[in-house]
Amino acid sequence: MEANSTMSQLMRWRLLGKELRQLWPIFGAMPLAFIGFLAMIFAMGQLFWGIGLPPWQLAYQLPGVVFAIGAASLLVCQEKEQFTLRWLAALPIPAHEIIRAKFWAGAIGVVVVWLGSILISLALHTWFPIDHSLSQWVLCLVINLYILLAGFAMGWRFESTFAALIVLLVVAFLPGAVTQVFSLLWDSLGAGTIRSVPFDTSTGLVLWLSYLAFGSVAIYLLHRWGRQALSATPTYASESIRPWLPYRVSAQVSTAAGLMSPASALTWQVLRQNRWALVSIGLLFATSFVQFALKGPELSVLGIAMLAASCLGVSTFAGDSHRSQVRFLADRGISRWQVWWSRQLVPFSMLSLYGLVAVVAAIFVYGQQLPTISMIGQLILIGLAHLLLVYSLSQWLGQQIQGPVLAAVLVPPIAIGAVGLVGYFLDALGIHPLFMLLIAVAPLSGTAIAMSAWMDRTLGFRSAIRQLSAAGLLLLLGGVVVAWPTLLPQQIDSQIAADMRALSVSLATEQAPKFGYPDDYRYDIIDMTELEETFNAAAKISPLFAMQNLRRLQRNLAGSDRAIKMDFYRLDGQPLETFAEYVPQHEMPASERRALFNEIIRTYLRMARGLRLSTRLVEQETADLAEIWLLRQVMAANNSELFEDELYNEVVAYLANEEARQLSRRQALAEIGLRLESKPISIWDLQDYSFEFEVSGIYFPFLPDWTAASANANRKRKTVELLEKLWVLSELVNDQQHAILKSLAENQQATETLYGIGSLGHYFRVDDAAEVMPDRRVGQGSLGLPGQQWRAGWELQAKQLELRGISPSDQPIHDSLGDSK
């Protein structure tokens, strides 16, 4: 009796030990899974910026879920498929002992991983902090144990791992779904607002009870189905009980049909065999549909798309790896390339189709919001690049991990996390995300190179070296050809740079008024906006008040070292010059009104002249608007009586001098070019990226979601591109400029150029000064583009003006208020 008891104890411990030993691969893979989740959250965390911390707790808690699923798969499903369960059942071990040993091994593993997660979360709290809540962690343990129980139950019930995992995916969410339904009902009954679980007592209680209830059911089913599985060999008849499967293998192929080509045969074989792939493809398209229905990107849906792409990748070689079935093809000398292509054909086709569907969906949903189709296309391509990399990396990992069950559980977090990290590093280095398409080729080439060894089931160190070498070479070549140029500091086109150097700027620099850096230009705008908005009212209330404001303006111009950014157009689009209409004759004597008008004209003329002497491009642009405004005053019929003849002719002569104006603009551009050449902008210079980046008034604002290196590199690149376009623009005549201006307008959102000349809309060109109306797009908040007014129609109009009776003289500007520079 005692001996029997000792034997029983020994048997239990050895059985438990054997089950735990079987879990070594997944224990060993847990660090990789954790790193994968961490990388995934880290990369996705950029998307959470500004609304709180990234959900690091997922990185700590999800490995436990992966372990639970993996443990159930390895201990039951894999044993079934390898027929070791039959051997175990043939031993003189009671069925319940086997079931219990597996359960306890899985449970111990879950607890160990859970404890490990807690310890790691504490150790890494400084870098990846979470709210350590006992109830959260206990709930996490409960969920993992529930998934383990459900996984065991499904594993005992179903013949194939595929069926078990599919059903498990549904069953795992049942308690949460029940809780959610309860929560919705609770709210619909008006019992309260939607509350988050588990902190709320009612829904939290329901959640706990759900897990308890479903867990109890799972325990019962686990024992029942386990005994059934261990007591009888599954028969052929059990195969027919599958009406509830989401996918059924298609009807038997008639082999009376003609023979297929080798490629067709291999494709047929893949389609018949790879049910995981078909489910993954279905899931992928379902996410597209959901995105379309939601009319906006949803992180969880994008995550599911990534998961589907990963499963698609893992399943590429999984079916053939199962029991080394691919040896059938290897034994017959089937071409490796044919086998490889047949495995890629369906997933690639589906991914391409998915891309097409995504484009169509995006156009329908976002077409009105995004400015251009090319932008939509670029976004879609970037998304597809991510999916393709997830797919190819998962495929490579799935090929290397020759156990399909282990691969299915471990590869998705590792692959998705790795892709997230790749995206982050590309961003950090300022490399365009489309480079991911090239990176995706590397794992694919690895799988192709490994085909011989994989088919012969001789994957090993040598094969790994060959793959890594090929992938490394590919990435190196791709990096040199594609990515390296983006890392190099971009220089101005050599011809343009030479032209700029030839154009001397020293004279202009000496004579330019000292307008300082417009760091507080917004204050000036606010002042001027106040002036603008209140001027009309002030003029109505008191011409003296209007005069005082004008004096303030002149003082600012005379004595301040700040550049003035003036809104020449009010926010409602009406030009400022209607002030003349707002100073009605009955409120001011005619002579005073005339004097006021001419003072303002002189002020603007002086301002325009001064701005033309500056080599800052923003001041050249301001001068354009000042001159357009002056032109409007000259052209306005109701101003003709207000104008002094001498002043009129002075203004007309000034406005007609197109050559001087053009020279000033090009001098300013040359100045920018020289400063860019001399400004050391390094992608490794991390100090400047958080501040606005300014070159001659062209501002590239703070980009919070960009890393330092990429921000600096991109800003330099964009400035050079802008400068080169402006240089070319300045050489063209009016009719030839539209293409470049349109290109500048389309790129403005992408380049995020901030150009401080007022809220004029991003493509606004004055071809007729008499009919100026800014092209304002509501809500865009974009500021003026450079070069919009260069050699436009208004300059031609200015040249066609006629002087009045007396000849104009180039007299010094008179300032009636006595202020002078």
Residues contributing to the site for other proteins (CB under 8 A)? 236, 249, 252-253, 255, 259-262, 264-265, 268-269, 272-273, 323-328, 330-336, 452, 456, 458
Q: Which residues are CB-contacts of 490 (< 8 A; sequence separation ≥ 6)? A: 716, 717, 720, 721
The phi, psi pair for 754, rounded to 5°, reads -110, 115
Residue 565: name the closest of 527, 539, 534 by CA: 527
Tell the smallest beta-carbon distance from residue 327 to other proteins (Å). 3
Position of tokens 């599954």?
234
**How far, in whole angstroms, is CA 584 from its chain's centroid?**
55
Name the pairing type of β-strands 754-755 and 698-700: antiparallel
Tell me the H-state helices in 372-403.
373-400
Tell the smallest beta-carbon distance from residue 325 to other proteins (Å). 5
Residues 723-741: b if buried by 16+ CB within 10 A, e if exposed: bbbbbebbeeeeeebeebb
Cross-strand partners of 698: 695, 755
* Cβ nearer to other proteins, comparing 213 with 260: 260
* Cβ nearer to other proteins, comparing 236 with 691: 236
Tell the smallest beta-carbon distance from residue 230 to other proteins (Å). 20
* Cβ nearer to other proteins, comparing 61 with 269: 269
Tell the smallest beta-carbon distance from residue 237 to other proteins (Å). 11
Tell the smallest beta-carbon distance from residue 397 to other proteins (Å). 23
Half-sphere exposure of 428 (CA within 13 A, CB side): 10
Tell the smallest beta-carbon distance from residue 319 to other proteins (Å). 9
* Cβ nearer to other proteins, comparing 325 with 816: 325
User: How many other C-beta atoms lie within 10 A of the C-beta of residue 792?
Assistant: 20
Residue 117: name the closest of 98, 136, 91 by CA: 136
Tell the smallest beta-carbon distance from residue 13 to other proteins (Å). 31
Give the whole-angstrom CA distance, residue 547 versus residue 539.
8
CA quadruple 590, 595, 600, 605: dihedral sign: positive
Q: Which residues are CB-contacts of 495 (< 8 A; sequence separation ≥ 6)? A: none
Query: Which uninterrupted H or E stretch holds 754?
Result: strand 754-755
Give the whole-angstrom CA distance, residue 415 versus residue 418.
5
Contact 343, 454 (CB under 8 A): no
Structure tokens at 139: 């709930």
Tell the smallest beta-carbon distance from residue 489 to other proteins (Å). 49
Tell the smallest beta-carbon distance from residue 260 to other proteins (Å). 5
* Three-class secondary structure of residue 516 per DSSP: strand
Give the whole-angstrom CA distance, residue 502 versus residue 524.
35
* Cβ nearer to other proteins, comparing 57 with 342: 342
* Cβ nearer to other proteins, comparing 188 with 235: 235
Helical packing angle, 461-478 and 435-449, nearest 10°: 150
Tell the smallest beta-carbon distance from residue 335 to other proteins (Å). 7
Tell the smallest beta-carbon distance from residue 339 to other proteins (Å). 11
* Three-class secondary structure of residue 699 per DSSP: strand
* Cβ nearer to other proteins, comparing 262 with 296: 262
Tell the smallest beta-carbon distance from residue 246 to other proteins (Å). 18
The phi, psi pair for 418, rounded to 5°, reads -65, -40
* Cβ nearer to other proteins, comparing 266 with 410: 266
**How far, in whole angstroms, is CA 326 from its chain's centroid?**
40
Helical packing angle, 95-123 and 134-157, nearest 10°: 150
* Cβ nearer to other proteins, comparing 10 with 465: 465
Tell the smallest beta-carbon distance from residue 83 to other proteins (Å). 11
The Cα-based distances of 801 to 653, 656, 657 in angstroms read 9, 8, 12
* Cβ nearer to other proteins, comparing 189 with 259: 259
Structure tokens at 524: 């000036």
Give the whole-angstrom CA distance, residue 37 versus residue 26.
15
Tell me the H-state helices in 685-780.
708-731, 738-751
Structure tokens at 189: 């009954």
Tell the smallest beta-carbon distance from residue 331 to other proteins (Å). 5
Residues 291-306: b if buried by 16+ CB within 10 A, e if exposed: bbeeeeeeeebbebbb
Tell the smallest beta-carbon distance from residue 80 to other proteins (Å). 12
The phi, psi pair for 755, rounded to 5°, reads -125, 115
* Cβ nearer to other proteins, comparing 259 with 778: 259
Query: Which uninterrupted H or E stretch holds 669?
Result: helix 658-678
Ramachandran bin of 295, using left for φ above 0, alpha for ψ from -120 to 50, beta for the remaining angles: left
* Three-class secondary structure of residue 694 per DSSP: strand
Contact 153, 222 (CB under 8 A): yes
Tell the smallest beta-carbon distance from residue 280 to other proteins (Å). 19
Half-sphere exposure of 310 (CA within 13 A, CB side): 23
Cross-strand partners of 324: none
Tell the smallest beta-carbon distance from residue 89 to other proteins (Å). 18
Which letter does DSSP use for residue 457 in this model? T
